[in-house]
Structure 1
């Protein structure tokens, strides 16, 4: 009797159980990283290029060996804020609308329990968190929003109560201002977009002069969100416990909440997109060329050196990668695709019966390098391979460009898709189907709509969404005409679906 064929696809969420950060946390940590070490490594690479070579004479600018190297820094904060407010304002407003629920969720894994936080507030203010609220005393201009649920929040009101008692506390004031800036920035961006799209409620379509006046309104991004970005990226976390004084505790809680918001809402796609093209043309803009090249080195170094993994779990489980060993007893696993940069999945299944399953890294990996001059990808290049070349780590970070930059990369996509088509079932774990991964989302859409394959999505259960709501959510994410071939299972942190390990349901439904 033949066993059903299965292919797997993993995103960052699949590795959280092994101690790795979420995609949002990872993005934030990269911008916190000092790039000086990577800058010097790249300088050595540039200076090692023979000035008589083709790459120097035809591709690099004059005096390339002595040119200043630039890195991403505070100057990019405004662009990060602008991109986040433009593209993730819905996520920001949703977080602020559910401020209390999000803080409660954060406190489940924080340094201090919610009970201790509430006790500290009671000791300081002689009232409970939520006894006093500001929804009747603070109102936003109705042109921006009719109702702001943040002002009804018990915790936001608690921050304001502390600020009322300690008006000279500049740190807490700065944090509260950051929340308000994000709120005003998100609703303000919506208003600006509406104004730019509807400057004239009515105008003759055949007279183009009216179209010329579109897009004249803009938001001052220096005044909305940049303050919070500076706090999150530049200020290190403070260790607190149940004995920490109330104001220090709430300052750190406020900073942690800001970090949580940016982890979910920070968008640096526009920043990367505006620089990536110069990787192919350093003469056109040397500063942007060096910024994107050094950034990719920083990403690689952070993953290799700074990401803390649970070595015990990686060695013996449990985790989604270890579940593959059990799955291989019930399915003929065709292939594994992943957007993750490390090679932990191969590390787990290597040396087992599942060790021969091909693994495709669709967004590159820490072992791959890219030669932009020759448009060539190299895997673990030797010192000889590196000589006379400029190589950058081959990793597609948050970007809408994500080019299929070489024949070998294009082949990866085609081969994985062919394996998907050969499979009876494709299971996706820890992958969010975000807009900047449209090149991958299109592959799944084609698989479901044109090849009528069954797609199973494991969704981490973080709220009270029903299965039907999530089915609709993923149908919209993938832009599918129908959800008939899609199944969504809600899994908890133990990889259980209603008390049962997820792969049992997969085996049962096959």
Structure 2
């Protein structure tokens, strides 16, 4: 009996078990990471360019060496908040509606713990958490929302009650205000969106004057969400211990919740998209060109540092990548795709399955992009370069891939500017290069040849529509898709959820397997459950 042909696709969730950041935490950390080192590197690259070249004369602005190098900072907080409220307002409100569930989840990983915190609160205040609720005492304007479950929350009510008893506690007050700003801002954004769409309940179609009045309402984003942005992105949290005063403990919990809200809902796609186009035209807006260029270097350095910090776990496991050694003996693995930026998967896969290719669909720390020529360069020996007789990566056909002077892995050296080829949260993807287009086509063809495609740790987010479309095409072509879902849930509900994410007409080609922290489905390791579900089953490709 032949081995089943299996292909896999990994998202950020596949690396959380190794201690690497999730997508939300990754976003927060990027905007908290100082960029001075990356500014200095960018300045060095500029100085190395031949000023007499056509590249410098025609592509770069006049006096580019004297111009300031800009980076993202506090001035961009309003743009971040605008995008988050416009695109994630429903997610923010859904989070606040389940405030106590999130508080309990965060307290399970906090040194104090929920039971201990509740005991300390009851002992000092004289009432238990949840005994005093503000659902009847605080009412939001009904034009914004008919009901607000947040004020019925036990923990948020505990914050409010504690503020009544300690009105001068500045940190707790700021954190509570930041949460309220997100509530009011999200409700306000929803109301404004509805008003702008429905200024007139009815009007003749032939009278365009009514359409010209659309979109006249807007929020003042300078006063919405900025408190929380300042707290989360610029301030170091205070150390909380069992000896800390109760108001400090509760302020610490409020800070955890506030940071978690932003980690789940921060949207910086509009900010990146508004800058990415200037990679191709630095003369048009030098400030935006340098911001996005330096930002991409910061992303790469952050990812490299994460890899160094977790090197032992990444080398030894356990984790999804190390589980592939077991799968290799039972299945014929066709290809592995990933949205992750590091090359850990490729290194681990190569040791277990040396002939299986790994495709980085959102770029990687080992690749660089030349916006002047719209080409991808392999600067770390882990991209799409040729392989030698032993299957090892070698320099690509385009002749680039130069290393540092000591022969070790390093960034590209060439007469011009390159940026790390990494797609962060963005709707603009430079897929027009031949190399990237071929990568997608080859991965799709290999997936199509498989009996089943298994997806691990991938969230099908809107800014990855190019990948969602690839998977949707596979499902539409009759390819069985198995999705490992972290957590629990009913099979039919989960299938409907992912059907909606993929925008499929039906869910018959989808199988969803709930998986836990131990990477097991029921009592079986995930790849065993995958093979039990689809072992040797031919796909109905049409």
TM-score (norm 2): 0.92
Q: Is the 8 A contact 2:350 2:356 kept in 1?
A: no
Tell me which residue corresponds to 2:123: 123
Alignment of 1:443-482 (within 5 A): 443-449=470-476, 451-461=477-487, 465-482=489-506
Answer yes or no: is 1:103 the counterpart of 2:130: no
More displaced 10-residue stretch of structure 1: 299-308 or 434-443:
299-308
The equivalent position to 2:531 in structure 1, one of 500, 507, 510, is 507
Q: Over residues 286-319 of structure 1, what are the superposed CA-to-partner deviations in whole Å (9 max), with x where a residue is unaligned?
A: 0000000000000001111245654443223221
The Cα shift of 1:99 comes to 0.2
The Cα shift of 1:241 comes to 2.3
Alignment of 1:27-66 (within 5 A): 27-66=27-66
The Cα shift of 1:216 comes to 0.2
Change over 3 Å in CA distance of 1:129–1:22 after alignment to 2: same
Q: Partners of 1:174 and 1:238 in 2: how far apart?
A: 14
Q: Is the 8 A contact 2:489 2:514 kept in 1?
A: no
Q: Partners of 1:85 and 1:308 in 2: how far apart?
A: 35
Answer yes or no: is 1:386 the counterpart of 2:425: no
The Cα RMSD (Å) is 1.3
Q: Partners of 1:248 and 1:454 in 2: how far apart?
A: 52
The Cα shift of 1:349 comes to 2.4
Alignment of 1:361-510 (within 5 A): 361-380=360-379, 381-382=401-402, 386-449=413-476, 451-461=477-487, 465-509=489-533, 510=535
Q: Is the 8 A contact 1:10 1:429 kept in 2?
A: yes
Q: Over residues 305-351 of structure 1, what are the superposed CA-to-partner deviations in whole Å (9 max), with x where a residue is unaligned?
A: 24565444322322111111111111110000000000111222233
Q: Partners of 2:424 and 2:284 in 1: how far apart?
A: 22
SS of match in other structure, 2:351: coil
The Cα shift of 1:103 comes to 0.6
Q: Is the 8 A contact 2:495 2:510 kept in 1?
A: yes
Any gaps of 5 or more consecutive residues in structure 2? 380-400, 405-411, 536-542
Q: Partners of 1:351 and 1:255 in 2: how far apart?
A: 43
Tell me which residue corresponds to 1:326: 326
The Cα shift of 1:50 comes to 1.1
Q: Partners of 1:469 and 1:75 in 2: how far apart?
A: 42
Tell me which residue corresponds to 1:286: 286
Change over 3 Å in CA distance of 1:50–1:383 after alignment to 2: farther
Q: Is the 8 A contact 2:172 2:248 kept in 1?
A: no
More displaced 10-residue stretch of structure 1: 491-500 or 138-147:
491-500
Change over 3 Å in CA distance of 1:308–1:490 after alignment to 2: farther
Change over 3 Å in CA distance of 1:307–1:116 after alignment to 2: farther
SS of match in other structure, 2:102: helix
SS of match in other structure, 1:52: coil
Q: Partners of 2:180 and 2:100 in 1: how far apart?
A: 16
Q: Partners of 2:262 and 2:443 in 1: how far apart?
A: 33
Q: Partners of 1:29 and 1:132 in 2: how far apart?
A: 36
Any gaps of 5 or more consecutive residues in structure 1? none
Q: Partners of 1:113 and 1:308 in 2: how far apart?
A: 30
The Cα shift of 1:206 comes to 0.5
Alignment of 1:297-336 (within 5 A): 297-306=297-306, 309-336=309-336
Q: Partners of 1:43 and 1:345 in 2: how far apart?
A: 33
Q: Is the 8 A contact 2:269 2:425 kept in 1?
A: yes
Q: Is the 8 A contact 2:20 2:306 kept in 1?
A: no
TM-score (norm 1): 0.97
